[in-house]
Structure 1
Amino acid sequence: MSKEDMVKEAVEEAKAKAEQAAREQAEQSESEEEEADSREEALEAAEEDEDTAGEETSEEEDGEEDPDGGKKSRKLFGKKNKKDKKDEKIEELTDRLTRQMAEFDNFRKRTDKEKSQMYEIGAKDIINKILPVVDNFERGLAAVPEEEKKNPVLEGMEKVYKQLMTTLEEIGVKPIEAVGQEFNPDFHNAVMHVEDEELGENIIAEEFQKGYTYHDSVVRHSMVKVAN
Structure 2
Amino acid sequence: MSKKDKKQDIEQEKVETSQTETVEVDKQQAENQSVEEKLKDQVQQEKDKFLRLFAEFENYKKRTSRERIELFSTASEDVMKTLLPVLDDFERALSHIEEDKEAEELRKGVLLIYQKLINTLEQKGLKAIKIEKGDAFNADNHEAITQIPAPSEDLKGKIIDVIEKGYKLGDKVIRFPKVVIGQ
Shorter-chain TM band: 0.7 to 0.9
Offset, 1:131: 0.7
- Partner residue of 2:175? 220
Unaligned runs of 5+ in 1: 1-33, 55-78
Question: 55, 76, 79: which one pairs with 1:123?
Answer: 76
Partner in structure 2 of residue 192 of structure 1: 146
Alignment of 1:143 with 2:91, yes or no, is no
- Deviations along 1:146-166, one digit per CA (max 9) or x if unpaired, are 524531x54233122112222
Q: Distance in 2 between matches of 1:210 and 1:199?
A: 23
Percent of aligned pairs sharing the same letter: 29
- Deviation readout 1:141-183 (Å, 9 max, x if unpaired): 11114524531x5423312211222233344322221422111
**Which of 114, 125, 130 is 1:161 aligned to?**
114
- Structure 1 residues 188 and 224 mapped into 2: Cα distance closer, same or farther (>3 Å)? same
Structure 2 stretches of 5 or more lacking a match? 1-10
| Distance verdict in 2 for CA 1:183–1:197, change over 3 Å | same
TM-score of the superposition, structure 2-length normalised?
0.73
- Assess if the C-alpha contact under 8 Å between 2:74 and 2:169 holds in 1: no
Q: Which has the higher helix share?
A: 2
Partner SS, residue 143 of structure 1: helix
Q: In the aligned structure 2, how far is the partner of 1:211 from the partner of 1:88? A: 62
TM-score by length of 1: 0.60
Residue 186 of structure 1: SS of its match in structure 2?
coil
Instruction: Please state whether the residue corresponding to 1:132 is helix, strand or coil.
Output: helix
CA contact (8 A) 1:124 1:219 kept: yes
CA distance in 2, matches of 1:170, 1:121: 14
Q: Contact between 1:199 and 1:227, CA under 8 Å: does it hold in 2? A: no
Aligned to 1:3: none
- C-alpha spacing 1:227/1:118, structure 2 compared with 1 (3 Å): same
SS of 2:168's partner is strand
Q: Which amino acid aligns with 1:106?
A: N
**Is the contact between residue 87 and residue 114 of structure 2 (CA under 8 Å) also seen in structure 1?**
yes
Question: Residues 180 and 88 from structure 1, CA distance in 2 versus in 1: closer, same or farther, beyond 3 angstroms?
Answer: same
Which structure is richer in relative contact order (CA contacts within 8 A, separation 6 or more)? 2
Q: Pairwise CA RMSD of aligned residues?
A: 3.3
Rg larger in structure: 1
Of the three residues 38, 45, 48, the one matched with 2:22 is: 45
2:178 partner letter: M
The verdict on how the C-alpha distance between 1:166 and 1:180 changes in structure 2, with shifts beyond 3 A counting, is farther
